[in-house]
């Protein structure tokens, strides 16, 4: 595959690559470093066929952390005609094949494009954001309709959660579905600029998107913006700053109902990549089709990255309402899993006794958990939950934006307390200090980053209470010194 050095600036037919230059051929149909699928015919029907051979994308079956080209095992048994239909790990579906699989879609500028009808279908579908906040997508878009200011639409494909790879899978395997959704959302809001934000340490993702953009008609200027791959860079106020030319740092927003603006006073709408892929399907097939999956209160499907103590880690497309135990079973969980981390590093631990819970926002909230951006990590019976939590807390302290006291001072203090407890040092005094630090930090951050750490640690103190008592008494379990299940942050997902 030929390539020429890329320089920041306009890519003919593709958009602008900002912040970081990647190698690629602007005139080529193919994104550099990606394979493109042209000749396979889509499978008929709404569901995928029988399971194919399990794929691994590295010689030893292991994919390193965020800095590497991350490939995914996609569970073809559960893939429905939608997000993962026809997708294969590491192979980007071409625009022609995309249209074969999903059919044509009227886009802004086409005769017959019906914004009112699409927004009505979106509201009736009940689609909520898949980036973690689960805010109704139709309300988010409707709030910007008729805005007097210019609007920038941001596709949030940053995926700073080390335990998640679902947005990477979408952008590198079926990028046109994400771009379809972005184009429709731009038409609904009148956005005159579309920015796809990706982590700069995943160049393959940016290259796949640039290659896909080169294959499509473009009526609105597009950019692929490569930003530092930090945990907080994908926070929506950080992205609003970034598209205005500033560093991707979260803002203090006491009233999060107010619309986001960039430094240039443009209105900014941020939507997660998976959310926009769902929007593209709702625009094609309508609300009833979308609601044929999931539950009444939580309609549709969702992507979940499952990893940890499972034989078949990867990205699964599942109906909302699936029982957690069923999802873990499909992923080949070990016979005795003591707990699971749901929602990622800013999520919560869930004890094995609660694995029968249905995966809906309401049901998970009742047991103190959330799927967040679609993350489940199984903890093996012989792993130390306190040690894993301490490692995550250290990572999260290092990912702070450094803008407020709770992050600068509070998170390192929490991590230090956990380190002592995990090692069996500090006794009950360390536990009391930890609880005091949690109380001081909670609700006082400039963004939600410190609150996520507090939520995670509080859940660990509850779920691993028996182990905690032994650690505080100076009798730590022998598993805390073993190599981490998660690996040193960022997370390495075993394949």
- Alpha-carbon dihedral of residues 246, 15, 131, 321, nearest 10 degrees? 180
Least confident stretch, 36-40, 385-389, 421-425, 480-484: 36-40
Q: What is the pLDDT of residue 479?
A: 76
Quickly state the pLDDT bin for 49 (edges 50, 70, 90). Answer: very low
Tokens 């184009």 belong to residue:
183
**Domain residue ranges of the chain, discontinuous segments joined by +:** 9-291, 385-476
**Residue among 390, 401, 399 at smallest CA distance from 480:** 390
Average confidence (pLDDT) over 213-236? 90
Q: Quick check: 18 pLDDT over 50?
A: no
pLDDT above 50: residue 395? yes
Of the pLDDT bands very low, low, confident and very high (cuts 50, 70, 90), residue 490 is very low
Rounded CA separation 168/182 (Å): 16
Domain 385-476: CATH class, spelled out = mainly alpha
pLDDT number for residue 249:
78
Separation between Cα atoms, residue 230 and residue 222, nearest integer Å: 23
Question: What's the CATH architecture for 9-291?
Answer: 3-Layer(aba) Sandwich (3.40)
- 92-116 residue pLDDT tens: 899 999 999 999 999 888 888 999 9
Instruction: Indicate the length of the chain as a whole number.
Output: 495
Coil, strand or helix: which one is 239? helix
Does this model's pTM top 0.75?
yes
Q: Sign of dihedral through CA atoms 463, 465, 467, 471? A: positive
Is the distance from CB of 174 to CB of 83 less than 8 angstroms? Answer: yes
3-state secondary structure of 23: strand
CA angle at residue 160 from 298 to 376, to 5 degrees? 45
Q: Could you report the per-residue pLDDT of 171-221, keeping only the tens digit for each? A: 999 999 999 999 999 999 999 999 999 999 888 899 999 999 999 988 889
**Would you state the pLDDT for residue 28?**
30
User: How many other C-beta atoms are found inside a 10 Å radius of the C-beta of residue 114?
Assistant: 12
The pLDDT of residue 50 is 28
> Between these two residues, 395 and 145, which has the higher pLDDT value?
395
CB atoms within 10 A of CB 53: 5
What tokens does 375 get? 């993350």
Task: Tell me the pLDDT tens digit for each residue of 144-178.
Answer: 876 656 889 999 999 989 999 999 999 999 999 99
**Average of per-residue pLDDT across 23-48:** 37
How far is 250 from 266, CA to CA, in rounded Å? 17
Comparing 411 with 217, the larger pLDDT belongs to 411
Mean pLDDT, residues 286-297 taken together: 94
Distance CA(491)–CA(112), nearest Å, equals 46
């Amino acid at each position: 595959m030929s390539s020429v050095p890329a320089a920041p600036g306009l890519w003919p037919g593709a958009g602008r690559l900002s912040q970081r230059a990647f190698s690629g051929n602007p005139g080529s149909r193919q994104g550099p470093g990606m394979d493109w699928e042209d000749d396979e015919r889509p499978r008929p029907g709404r569901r995928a066929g029988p399971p194919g051979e399990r794929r691994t994308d590295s010689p030893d079956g292991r994919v390193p952390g965020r800095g590497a080209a991350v490939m995914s095992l996609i569970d073809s048994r559960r893939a429905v005609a939608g997000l993962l239909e026809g997708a294969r790990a590491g192979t980007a579906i071409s625009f022609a094949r995309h249209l074969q699989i999903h059919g044509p879609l009227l886009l802004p500028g086409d005769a017959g494009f019906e914004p009112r009808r699409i927004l009505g279908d979106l509201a009736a579908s009940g689609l909520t954001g898949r980036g973690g906040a689960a805010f109704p997508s139709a309300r988010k878009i409707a709030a910007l309709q008729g805005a007097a200011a210019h609007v920038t639409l941001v596709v949030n494909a940053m995926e700073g959660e080390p335990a998640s790879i679902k947005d990477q899978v979408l952008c590198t395997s079926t990028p046109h579905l994400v771009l379809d959704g972005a184009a429709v959302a731009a038409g609904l809001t009148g956005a005159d600029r579309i920015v796809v934000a990706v982590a700069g340490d995943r160049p393959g993702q940016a290259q796949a998107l640039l290659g896909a953009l080169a294959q499509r008609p473009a009526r609105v200027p597009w950019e692929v913006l490569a930003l530092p791959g930090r945990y907080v860079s994908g926070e929506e106020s950080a992205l609003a700053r970034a598209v205005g030319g500033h560093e991707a740092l979260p803002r203090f927003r006491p009233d999060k109902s107010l619309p986001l603006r960039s430094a240039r006073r443009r209105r900014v709408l941020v939507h997660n990549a998976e959310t926009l892929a769902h929007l593209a399907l709702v625009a094609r097939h309508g609300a009833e089709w979308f609601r044929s999956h999931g539950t009444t209160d939580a309609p549709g499907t969702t992507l979940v990255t499952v990893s940890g103590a499972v034989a078949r880690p990867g990205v699964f497309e599942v109906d909302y309402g699936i029982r957690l135990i069923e999802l873990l079973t499909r992923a080949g969980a070990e016979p005795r899993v003591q707990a699971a981390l749901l929602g990622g590093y800013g999520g919560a631990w869930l004890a094995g006794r609660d694995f029968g819970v249905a995966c809906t926002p309401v049901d998970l909230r009742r047991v103190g958990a959330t799927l967040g951006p679609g993350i489940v990590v199984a903890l093996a019976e012989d792993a130390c939950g306190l040690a894993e939590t301490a490692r995550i807390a250290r990572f999260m302290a290092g990912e702070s934006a450094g803008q407020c006291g709770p992050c600068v001072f509070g998170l390192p203090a929490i991590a230090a307390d956990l380190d002592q407890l995990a090692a069996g040092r500090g006794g009950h005094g360390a536990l009391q200090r930890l609880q005091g630090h949690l109380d001081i930090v909670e609700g006082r951050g400039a963004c939600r980053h410190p609150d996520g750490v507090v939520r995670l640690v509080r859940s660990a103190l509850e779920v691993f209470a028996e182990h905690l008592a032994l650690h505080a008494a100076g009798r730590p379990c022998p598993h805390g010194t073993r190599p981490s299940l998660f690996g040193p942050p960022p997370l390495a997902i075993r394949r």
